[in-house]
Structure 1
Amino acid sequence: MKQQSLLARLASGSLVLQILVGIIAGVLLATTAPEAALQVEFLGGLFVGALKAIAPVLVFILVAASIANQKKNAHTQMRPIVMLYLVGTFAAALTAVVMSFLFPTELVLASGAEGATPPQGIAEVLSTLLFQLVDNPVNALMTGNYIGILAWGVGLGIALHHANDTTKMVFSDMSHSVSQMVRFIIRLAPLGIFGLVSGTIAKTGFSALAGYAHLLAVLLGAMAIIALVVNPLIVYVKIRRNPYPLVFQCLRESGVTAFFTRSSAANIPVNMALCEKMKLHEDTYSVSIPLGATINMGGAAITITILTLAAVHTMGIQVDIFTALLLSIVAAVSACGASGVAGGSLLLIPLACSLFGISNDVAMQVVAVGFIIGVIQDAAETALNSSTDVVFTAAACEAAERAEAKANA
């Protein structure tokens, strides 16, 4: 009985507090016993693996079930959410340009990314996105292609909308069952993050980051400005009230987990659970969250822009305001095609560097620098991207509810 009571208390306790304990324990273990820390790293791998495994099934079932059971004349808020995603990503690229001009960075170029194959142009990035739409549904589920999963989920949901109530109920029950599995996996986050922190610090430490401290400071500064200034401003314009309680809740309950998993795709179940906790419309967030993991990439736009302009400053190339604006557009569009996995934005840097005539050899050395600082850069980028998905979804839902209440008054 005592053991059950302890498990019940752990299950109902504050997840954020438990994650904080896991982070501290991981740091302590990695600094005092690095070999033991490497032994528990598998806990992190299991946690991230479980999230990545459940996420495609969750998205497919939830999207199909929510559309199939959608009541007539019910309105989702996808159009304003997509607009917020696009505005937020472009604002992130512009902020990165401003930060790069205020604090220009020169790089000590590295090597080690020669084997990677970056896209050759924006047309290739957009073409890849379009072909992901028509991917085989089984392959989309197996590879975590969320554009394809969304397309097939929406198509199946529309078809099932005209099915009999029993069939719709089966899909509804399946969505609730998968959601229950997600809740169980998320409760394991403290153990998973303990393993991730222990292994990462034990293997890399932070000595490799010291030589790129200035670059990291500019990157993290730009991301902090987006998270704490620009996004709240966009949300305030949308909901006309203090945006910070919403922003801080999303950073705390979505951003922290995303920081350590370093994968927008793996954080989809976490974000959906948070949306459910915030009582947002399931018809809306079941589509907006996986879509945001694919196209809402403000952090990626910052990474692409700042590392590209660092290469430009290193090569001594002069940049005028119009070229910088063009870079912002290219970075924003490219970021929408960035993969939702760790390091997905880095291979888009050569594409942006080509605007300034920088050779692919030099650009790939910049990519290698990105991989060196990736322990921090990619973690912060994912935390910003993933938490913003929930921020903008919640803001659009609240604005719609307020407008509806005003219309009915």
Structure 2
Amino acid sequence: MTAPTPSLWLRLQRLSLVTQIIIGLIAGIALALFAPEVAKSTAFIGKVFVSALKAVAPILVFVLVMASIANHKHGQETHIRPILFLYLLGTFAAAVVAVVASTLFPSSLVLATHDVAVTAPGGISEVLQSLLLSVVDNPVSALMNANFIGILAWAIGMGIAIRHAGDTTREVLGDLSNGVTLIVRLVIRFAPLGIFGLVASTLATSGFGALIGYVHLLAVLLGCMLFVALVMNPVIVFWKLRRNPYPLVITCLRESGITAFFTRSSAANIPVNLELSKRLGLHEDTYSVSIPLGATINMAGAAITITVLTLAAVHTLGIAVDIPTAILLSIVAAICACGASGVAGGSLLLIPLACSLFGIPSEIAMQVVAVGFIIGVLQDSAETALNSSTDVLFTAAACLGEDEKAQRLA
């Protein structure tokens, strides 16, 4: 007697999440091509998925970080310092790559009058002041507005305080962390459906017609991001691990980068990265802090966007750039990127700050921002995929590297 053939639904459930996401991606593209009006109606599905991720991310970070610190055992090593170093190194290296690429393949923009109702920071000091104010934000406000810097500050403070509480209190906090994690896993299981809705509605509504006039600019932007993802980051990981970095790189790009590409939000991808870190067997005390921190300050893609678009404006206006100025731009872009918002299009609002280095007036700089929004269908998606996947990559590299170093010394 032969066993009954499993239903299509059961067979889909047995597939890995990444395979299911790819199926959702292909289905979304097909629907947008053959039934664009129907595809437009799927926007609601994508919005629900992204909203669910954004809803669970703040409370997940707050509870997970607080529980990890409260239950941290004395003498147990965390690797936050080497991760921070990798974050800053990767962001600066990305800005340098963008400077070199923009010099070798200069882009020109058609700058005209655009009414863009956005407000950009006035200088680096304003960016740093904003970061400091985020640290001391009201905890309820931080949770409501997804201010992850403020959430981290309060979670760390509460975690340290609760370390001195009784065992029962810490156990309750650990159970609460597990409960929130289960909810997050449930939300992530709907990623294939959410990405199907996002892809179908985006292609049916926007298409790629608006991008044709900016093919060269997009080629430079996406080329820089691919170079950083497939060459620069692997070099940094190899320096840390002293072994073939590509299995880890590909895993992070596949399982974190794909979802980040379509959600276009580093903040919304935090639950995905935390789940991936757990599957990679990393230290919870480390990744529960480094992943939300990376969503705020590890912004290689943002550094590339700020640098390439700024130098495109510089080239268009015929402004000469010497080596010291290019180095200064890389530093400024890295600092600006660390202050970029973890939402779609967050890095674009920092372009006027970088443009001010070359004396470009805000009226022209805001036109460059408008160009950024036009190409944002691809630029922002690729930027977020690079930013978010690198959070897990550098966390894993630091944890594995330090563990192997400790084993060699033992």
1:1-400 equivalences under 5 Å are 9-400=11-402
Deviation of 1:12 after TM superposition, in Å, equals 4.2
Measured against aligned partners, the alpha-carbon deviations of 1:273-321 in whole angstroms (never above 9, x if no partner) come to: 0001111000000000000000000000000000000000000111111
- CA distance in 1 between counterparts of 2:122 and 2:5 reads 58
- CA distance in 1 between counterparts of 2:111 and 2:31 reads 33
Percent of residue pairs bearing the same amino acid type: 67
Structure 1 residues 179, 12: closer, same or farther in 2, change over 3 A? farther
Matched AA of 1:302: I
* Higher mean C-alpha deviation, range 21-30 or range 251-260: 21-30
Structure 1 residues 208, 22: closer, same or farther in 2, change over 3 A? same
CA contact (8 A) 1:113 1:367 kept: no
Paired residues, number: 407
Structure 1 residues 21, 112: closer, same or farther in 2, change over 3 A? farther
Q: Secondary structure of the residue that 1:271 maps to in structure 2?
A: helix
Structure 2-normalised TM-score?
0.97
Question: Which consecutive unaligned segments of at least 5 residues does structure 1 have?
Answer: none
Matched AA of 1:107: L
Deviation of 1:75 after TM superposition, in Å, equals 1.5
- CA distance in 2 between counterparts of 1:55 and 1:366 reads 32
Q: Secondary structure of the residue that 1:148 maps to in structure 2?
A: helix
Measured against aligned partners, the alpha-carbon deviations of 1:125-162 in whole angstroms (never above 9, x if no partner) come to: 00000000000000000000000000000000000111
Deviation of 1:249 after TM superposition, in Å, equals 0.1
- Structure 1 stretches of at least 4 aligned residues deviating more than 6 Å after TM superposition: 2-6
Structure 1-normalised TM-score?
0.98
Q: Secondary structure of the residue that 1:92 maps to in structure 2?
A: helix
Deviation of 1:74 after TM superposition, in Å, equals 1.1
RMSD of aligned Cα (Å): 1.4
CA contact (8 A) 1:111 1:364 kept: no
Q: Secondary structure of the residue that 2:220 maps to in structure 1?
A: helix
- CA distance in 2 between counterparts of 1:126 and 1:194 reads 38
Question: Which consecutive unaligned segments of at least 5 residues does structure 2 have?
Answer: none
Matched AA of 1:152: W
Structure 1 residues 113, 374: closer, same or farther in 2, change over 3 A? farther
Deviation of 1:114 after TM superposition, in Å, equals 2.8
Structure 1 residues 69, 221: closer, same or farther in 2, change over 3 A? same
Matched AA of 2:296: T
Q: Secondary structure of the residue that 2:346 maps to in structure 1?
A: coil
- CA distance in 1 between counterparts of 2:60 and 2:339 reads 22
Measured against aligned partners, the alpha-carbon deviations of 1:247-290 in whole angstroms (never above 9, x if no partner) come to: 00000000000000000000000000000111100000000000
* Higher mean C-alpha deviation, range 16-25 or range 291-300: 16-25
Measured against aligned partners, the alpha-carbon deviations of 1:333-359 in whole angstroms (never above 9, x if no partner) come to: 000000000000001000000000111
Structure 1 residues 113, 11: closer, same or farther in 2, change over 3 A? farther
Structure 1 residues 323, 174: closer, same or farther in 2, change over 3 A? same
- CA distance in 2 between counterparts of 1:111 and 1:202 reads 28
CA contact (8 A) 1:111 1:368 kept: no
- CA distance in 1 between counterparts of 2:112 and 2:30 reads 31
Q: Secondary structure of the residue that 1:345 maps to in structure 2?
A: helix
Deviation of 1:41 after TM superposition, in Å, equals 1.2
* Higher mean C-alpha deviation, range 173-182 or range 365-374: 173-182
